[in-house]
Amino acid sequence: MRKSNISNNRCIICGQQKPGLTVKDDFVLDSIRWIKRNITKNEKGYTLVVCKEDYKKYLKERNKYIRRQIFYIAVGIIFAALLIIDARSIGAVLFGLAIILLLYLLSLLSYIPAVELPEKFISKDLKGKYGK
């Protein structure tokens, strides 16, 4: 765990300035930053972290989010497949893809980003579930 400079840290669970595990950058966070920089103009430049006290809570939320996302995408795929089988047209295929995309975007409403886990931090049973 880096303990160097925490003055810019913000915990994504409690919102406090604390040392913690750094949140991994991904396209969702990049998009949010881009919007804040270019459209709403309120980028704060925080380093997002999860503090030690909130780590358990974070894992629970992250798990919930992943399960919800899988559920949404599965529903979208099943729905799209039924639609395509039934209609057999390009329009149905496009509509099906649009539904999958929409459900995926819905799942992002409760977005919980991944964190960078130092090797020693990962116990064996956690590694399989969260070690990405």
Cβ 69 to Zn ion shortest distance, Å: 23
CA distance 83 to 100: 12
Q: Among residues 19 and 99, whose Cβ is nearest to Zn ion?
A: 19
3-state secondary structure 90-122: HHHHHHHHHHHHHHHHHHHHHCCCCECCCHHHC
Q: What minimum distance in Å lies between the beta carbon of 52 and Zn ion? A: 8
The minimum distance between CB 49 and Zn ion, in angstroms, equals 8
**What is the contact surface with Zn ion in residues (CB under 5 A)?**
11, 13-14, 51, 54
Rounded to 5°, the CA angle 101-110-67 comes to: 75
Q: Which is nearer to Zn ion, 51 or 112 (CB)?
A: 51
Q: Given the complex with Zn ion, which of 47 and 93 has the nearer CB atom?
A: 47
Q: What's the distance, CA 51 to chain centroid? A: 17
Nearest-approach distance from CB 65 to Zn ion, in angstroms: 17
Identity of the residue, 59 or 93, whose beta carbon is nearer to Zn ion in the bound complex: 59
- DSSP H/E element including 9: strand 9-11
| d(C-alpha 75, C-alpha 127), whole Å | 28
